[in-house]
Chains A and B, each alone.
Chain A
Amino acid sequence: MRILTILVFVLLHSTCPAQRWQTRTAQFSFHSSTKLEDITAANRQGFIDIDASAQTITAAVLMRGFEFRKALMQEHFNENYVESDRFPKANFKGNFTGNTVQWDKDGEYNTLVNGTLLLHGVSGHIQCPAKITVKNGSLSCTAEFTINPEDYHIKIPKTVMDNISKTIKVTIITGTLNRIQ
């Protein structure tokens, strides 16, 4: 009986290959809009791992990798706001909780992602809609959510408080993810 159980287990795992995709070139961008100023920064080197079997998504990005149009703004972002030396990475771990995605069937799927964002050493809950596109066995994903810097203990000096929105829009565009074994 025990041998039979092991055989069934081995057979099941050999016939159902893990469905896992990764990219190291995902684009993470954020946007702040106020009457005084629009601020946008992007990082083109984000890491994303999607495990379809476990319905999980892991994302990570280096804070120093965000590129701004203004050099001084980038310096202030790293040194004063997100303190990139102390907290070099932002991580997100979540699950797909919305509509079922048929990972092996071409189509566009609107689903939900629920998870925890670790930013500036503070964890926060994120729930956001995500669009997954499956085409010819490859996968891409886009998601958008908002965060409040205050929730992550990011202090904005009073002198520039009116230039930075209290709500920051974050957009993730994965590009094509590579299937891994």
Chain B
Amino acid sequence: MRKKIRLFITLTLLALVMAGGYAWFLFRQGPQSLLKRNAEISCSAEELSAAFLLDEQEAGTKYTGRIVEVTGKIFRHYPAENLLTLGDSSSTALINCALATDNNPIPDHLQTGTMVVIRGICTGFLADVQLNQAVFISKTAP
């Protein structure tokens, strides 16, 4: 009987330690790279900005908080801020991508006007459509 109680206590303590360790691991975890996650929505930069310009609330419901893969032309790269905008000079609103700080740099040779695919989490609309944790997926044919 004593042996059974001792085994029960030992197993309970072990389970508690493991659960605590797992909770601590989850708490300390940084955001998972979007390179390892699939896009929920794919669209063009024009389509995404047009949706927010037409009806910000409806577009917010559809896109905000989702992983969006956007195809568009590089408008400007801000290396110091690690930001990239997609669109062109005729765009009323651009796609402003805050690039993830992990190992996913924008290749140096990509210039303004190059068509690229960027994956990021849509955070809403503020003068531009904003994506964060954005990662470079690929360069596309013009």
Contact = CB atoms under 8 A, between A and B. Distances in A.
B28 A70 contact: yes
A24 B26 contact: no
B81 A64 contact: no
B30 A69 contact: yes
A134 B90 CA distance: 30
A45 B130 contact: yes
B81 to A, nearest CB: 5
B132 A65 contact: yes
Given A47-B127, A88-B60, A71 B98 contact: no
B93 to A, nearest CB: 10
Interface string B85-115: 0000000000010100000000000000000
A166 interface: no
Nearest to B85: A24
Q: What secondary structure prevails in chain A residues at the interface with B?
A: strand
A45 B96 contact: yes
Contacts of A67: 31, 98, 132-133
B89 to A, nearest CB: 14
B29 A72 contact: yes
Nearest to B64: A64
A72 B31 CA distance: 8
Contact of A45 (B30, B60, B126): B126
A25 B81 contact: yes
B24 to A, nearest CB: 11
Given A67-B132, A70-B29, A62 B126 contact: yes
A39 to B, nearest CB: 13
B83 interface: yes
Given A47-B127, A64-B123, A71 B83 contact: no
21 contacts: A24-B96, A24-B127, A24-B128, A25-B81, A25-B83, A44-B81, A45-B96, A45-B98, A45-B123, A45-B126, A47-B126, A47-B127, A62-B125, A62-B126, A62-B130, A65-B123, A68-B31, A70-B27, A74-B31, A88-B64, A88-B124
Interface of B: 26-32, 60, 64-65, 78, 80-83, 96, 98, 123-128, 130, 132-133
Q: Which 10 A-B pairs have the closest CB atoms?
A: A64-B123, A71-B31, A65-B123, A62-B124, A62-B123, A44-B98, A45-B130, A62-B126, A88-B124, A47-B127
Given A27-B81, A45-B96, A64-B123, 12 more contacts: A24-B96, A24-B126, A25-B78, A25-B83, A25-B96, A44-B81, A45-B98, A62-B125, A74-B31, A89-B124, A175-B80, A175-B81
